Amino acid sequence: MTDTATDFTLPLHMRRDRFLPDAELERIRDSGDVPRVRTAFGAEAYLVTRYDDVRHVLGDAATYSNAGSAELTRPDAPPLSEREQEQMRAGQLLLQDPPEHTRLRRFLTREFTQRRMARLEPRITEIVDEHLDALEAAGPGADLVSLFALPVPSMVICELLGVPYTDRDEFTARSTRLLDVSLPARERLAVGRENRAYMSRLVDAALADPGEDILGMLIREHGEEISHDELVGIASLLLIAGHETTSNMLSLGTLALLEDPEQAALLRSDPELARPAVEELLRWLSIVHTGVVRVTTTDTALRGTPIPARSLVMCSLPTANRDTGSGFDDPARLDLTRGAAGHVAFGHGVHHCLGAPLARMEMATAFPALLRRFPTLAPAGPVPPEAFRAYHFVYGMHTLPVTW
């Protein structure tokens, strides 16, 4: 696949057929091969596609390092000073290994516990209802993405983090461009600098007057342990990850349910099915293609394929979650009743998604509420290929007009 506007060839690991991984990815998984493929950065990486192998790689941070990926750049990327490279890495949990990763994650763990999420549930329900009202007011033909799927998690993470919700259009537009791998490296770097400057201003304001949000908590309780650059990095990661993943799950998951009326009817009629349904949708859709590229710290091997030290390794989460060796019965089938415990849509090991409890809470609230408010909900017409976010690190939908 080639984007004619940028002449950017979509890497194999990002290719999808609507909800499905590319047929070539599934062939590779079923063959047991561990091939070398081109990454979005132009370099080659070993591609891991089987469920057991993906869990092994993600669970072995000593052999498969996240920190090494911070050095990856595209051939067209402009050079950065050592200082700017340090700033870009600071506070980015996804680019750290233990013990540095452990230190940073410890500061945040308390804010994303199941108990903390339970206290947030009433507010999340309010936010969901407010945006269902907005969708209904807009009338049939309204865009589910812009009126519901995107603003719900955006408002939640803004309130948690202390980001002004009035800035939503600005930061969502930036994050969309940051995650678009087809953009030239210079453009993505410029957007990254804009984002960093914005987050730095928010951190400065929080330092001057810490609120009751996550930034305020970090400053009050750990201010002497976290640098300004680390606060900026943590805030940037939470803001982008906190809305991009859930919003795309809500839009893509809704389309999957609308195209499978029996599954949608199950979820609409059974309140107890909400949590299992979310786990199954996470598994079946696996909107994060691979997560962070790992770098091997020593010579190793997978399925008899030697992998030298300093090699790049990518894990295909969609193929792993649909692997017949995953323990899921008939994994190609969407079955909301199965619950899908053990999927790797949130990763695995020390880098398992910190915000998973929040995402689960948002989705378990939003999906049933949407289906009950609009029992005849349907796409407003055929969904064209360009509606899907093919060139983004997080797969999903640009737009989804609906009717009822």
For the stretch 170-214, pLDDT in tens is: 888 999 998 999 888 889 889 999 999 999 999 999 999 999 999
Domain assignment present for residue 20? The answer is yes
Please give the structure tokens belonging to residue 246.
């859930």
The total of structural domains in the chain comes to 1
Secondary structure of residue 81 in the 3-state scheme: coil
Cα 137 from Cα 62, distance rounded (Å) = 53
Domain with residue 243: its CATH number is: 1.10.630.10
Alpha helices in 165-227 (DSSP H): 168-178, 185-208, 214-222
pLDDT digits (tens, 9 = 90+) for 348-363: 999 999 999 999 999 9
Please give the structure tokens belonging to residue 218.
């970090």
Domain assignment present for residue 3? The answer is no
Cα 383 from Cα 13, distance rounded (Å) = 23
- How large a percentage of the chain has pLDDT more than 70? 98
Q: What is the dihedral of CA 131, 135, 136, 137, to 10 degrees?
A: 90
- Sign of the CA dihedral with 140 first, then 143, 145, and 147 last: negative
Domain assignment present for residue 385? The answer is yes
Domain assignment present for residue 224? The answer is yes
Asked if 131 and 180 count as a contact pair (C-beta separation under 8 A), the reply is no
pLDDT of residue 114: 75
Asked if 64 and 176 count as a contact pair (C-beta separation under 8 A), the reply is no
Cα 145 from Cα 402, distance rounded (Å) = 10
Domain that holds residue 92: 12-403
Domain assignment present for residue 192? The answer is yes
Asked if 346 and 246 count as a contact pair (C-beta separation under 8 A), the reply is no
Q: Kind of pairing, strands 16-17 and 20-21?
A: antiparallel
pLDDT surpasses 60 at 4: no
Domain assignment present for residue 105? The answer is yes
The pTM (predicted TM-score) of the whole model is: 0.93
Domain assignment present for residue 378? The answer is yes
What average pLDDT does the structure give for the chain? 92
